[in-house]
Amino acid sequence: MEQHHNAAPERTERHGLTLRETLQDRPLLLIRLTVAALGILTLALAWNDVLSDLENREVAARERLRTQARIRARAAGETIQATLERFDFALMVTRAAVPEGLPAVATQGRMVIGSLPPELVLQQFLIDADGYLSYSSLGPAPRNYLGDRDYFRALASDTGDRMQISPPVLGRLTGKWSIQIARPVKRNGHFDGVVSLAVSPEAWTRQLARFETAPLDTLTLLDRNGHVLLRTLQGHEHYGKQAPQQRDYILHPERPEGDYVAHGAVDGVLRQYAWTRLPSGLVMLSGIALEQALAPVHEINQWTLIRAGISSALFTLVVITLLVALQRYERLVRQLGVREEHYRGVLTHMGEGLMVIDDKGRIVDSNPAFSVITGIPASEARGQPVSVLESADAGEAGLAARLASPGPEHWETDFPGVRSEGPRYIGHAVVSCVHDAHGHVTHRIALLTDVTEQRRRDNEIWHQANFDLLTGLPNRALMSDRIESLLRQARRNQGCVTVMFIDLDNFKPVNDLYGHDTGDLVLGQVGQRLANLFRGDDSVARLGGDEFIVAMAADASPEADAALARKVLDSLSRPLTVAGRELHISCSIGIAHFPGDGDNADDLINRADQAMYKAKGRGRAGWST
C-alpha cells in the first residue's frame, strides 16, 4: 500500500511536467499554425488575384480590339468617302459637258481619267435615255444595251439628282468586274441618260489593304442593302453576295456606327466587327480575327499561370522551410543572446569611449569608458548635444562644429574637452557614419580618447626641435621656415625681405674669464634684448654659439639698413649685469636683402654671414651689406 501511494504522486508529477513542457512549446506551435494559415490564405488571395487579372486582361484586350476595329472602320470609311467624292466630282464635270456634244464629253473624260489613280477607273461612259451606250472612254464599241442595269433603272425612276453606286457587275464587253458610279443626265428637268464611271474593285480594294494588320482581318464595303462592294480578304469570291439581313447596319439605317462579334458567314472565323455609315449611305465594315489578335494575350495569360504555379510552389517551399526553421528558433535565440552578451561585455570593458550620435547632433548612447573620460554619466549624456563635451570657446575647431557641417564618411579631430569635475583635457574623436537603406546618414559612431598627455609630449618634442633651449628663440630650422614664408609674401606683393646676421664681439673672453654659465646668461640676455627690440611679424633666432639672425619685411636702402644696425648696436652696447658683474659687449652685423642677394632662406643667411665677416674685418661694433 505504501508503494502504491508513492507511485501515484510520481505519475502526477510526470503528468505535470509534460503539461508544463506543452505550455512552454505552445507559443512555437501557435506560430507554426499561424504561419500555415497565413500561407494558405496568401495562396488563396494570390490565385484569386491571378485569375482576376487574367479575366481583366482578356476583357481589356477585347475592348482594345473593339476600339481598334472602330478606328480602322472610320479611317477606311474616310478614305472610301474621299475617293467617292472625287468620283462624284468627275461625274459632274463630265455631265456638264454633255450639252456640248460627245467630243466635249470625250475631252472631259480623258481629263477625268488622267486625274484619278491609274488602274482604278476602267472606263468612263455615257448611256442615252433609251439605255444604249452612246460614249465610252475605251473608244468605239458595238451597240450595247445597258438599260437593264439596276443603277440605270434606279436613276431613271428617281426624280432627284443623286449618285448611284452599284454592286460589282461583270462587263458584257470587257469581261471584267466593275463597280458603276453613276449620276443622271437631265435635260429640261427630265431624265436624259446616265453618266457613269466603271471602277475596278480589285484596284479600289488595294487602297484598303494598307489598313490591315493580320492575315485574317477584313475590311468590307457594303451598300445600304448589305451587298458586298469591296472586301480585302478573298474579295472576288464575295462579288454579288449579300450580308445577313439581321445586322444592325441593315435593320437600323438611322444608326451611324456600331460593333458586334460574330463568325464569318463564309470562312467561319470569329471576328470583332465594327461598322460606320458613310455620308454616301455605304457601310464600311472592319473585322479583326479574334484568335490571332488575342494570341499574345493568351500567351501572356499562359505564362502568367505558369509563373503563378512556380511562385506558388516556391512560396509553399518557403513556408515549409520556415516551419522547419521555427523548430530551431529557440536555440538560435539563445545563441544570439550569448553573442549579444559578449558584445556588450566588449563595449563595457573597452578602453576607448564610445558615443552614438543622431543626425541632430545629440548623444543617444554611450559606454562606461565614455563616462570615465568625460565625467558625464551615460544617463545624463543621453539626449544632450555633443557641445556639452567641450568648452564654450571651442568654436569652429570643436567637435560639435565639425559634426554640424557636411564632411567625409570617416574623419578624426582633436577637441577641447571639459569635465563636470576636474581639469580640462584634450579629447580625440574618430567619427564614422551609419547610413540607412537610401544612403542617408542616420547616426555617427565616435570613439573618444583622452590625448592630453600625448599632445603635451608632442608639443614638447616640437618645441625642442624648433627652439633654442638656452634663449627660447627659434632655431635655424624654424627661422628658415619663417624666412621662406616672408619670401612667399614678398613675391606676391613685390616687396622686400631683410636678413640680419649678428655675431657678438669679444664673447670668448667672457667664457674664459667668468665661465660658461656666465656666458650662457649673457646669451640669454642678448636674446631677450633682441626679442624686445623686434616684435610683430619680425623674427629673431639663435643659430648657435654667439650668432643670431633677425628677419623682417623691410625696404632695402642704405638709410634703412643703417637705422636697423644702429638700433641693434645701441641695444647690445649697453652694459649687461650678470651675476652681480657689469659686462660690456658689442656685435658685428651683416645685412642681406631679397631680391638682390638671394631668393631663398639659405642664400640670404649665407650672404648676411659674409657681410658680417666684412664688418668684423673693418673693426668691431659695425655693420656691412
Q: Is 546 a catalytic residue?
A: yes
Q: What are phi and psi of 194, to 5 degrees?
A: -140, 135
446: enclosing H helix or E strand: strand 441-450
∠ CA 546-547-553, rounded to 5°? 145
Q: Concatenated DSSP letters for 555-616?
A: ---HHHHHHHHHHHHHHHHS-EEETTEEE--EEEEEEEEETTS-SSHHHHHHHHHHHHHHHH
* Cβ proximity of 356 and 365 under 8 Å: yes
Residue bearing cell 451606250: 133
Largest CA distance in the chain: 163
List the catalytic residue out of 546, 561, 597, 609: 546
**Cα 129 from Cα 152, distance rounded (Å):** 10
Angular region, 506: left φ>0, alpha ψ -120 to 50, beta rest: left
> CA–CA separation, 552 vs 164, rounded Å?
115
Copy the grid coordinates of residue 424: 580640462
Using DSSP's 3-state secondary structure scheme, residue 234 falls into coil
Q: Is the dihedral of CA 227, 229, 231, 235 positive or negative?
A: positive
Peptide bond preceding 595 in cis form (omega within 30 of 0): yes
The DSSP 8-state label assigned to residue 395 in this structure reads G
Q: What is the DSSP letter of 255?
A: -
Q: C-alpha grid cell for residue 144? A: 450595247
Cα-based distances in Å from 487 to 10, 303, 555, 565 = 101, 80, 13, 21
Q: How far apart are the first and last CA of the chain?
A: 130
Among candidate residues 594, 611, 612, the one with its CA nearest the CA of residue 483 = 594
What residues are labeled active site? 546
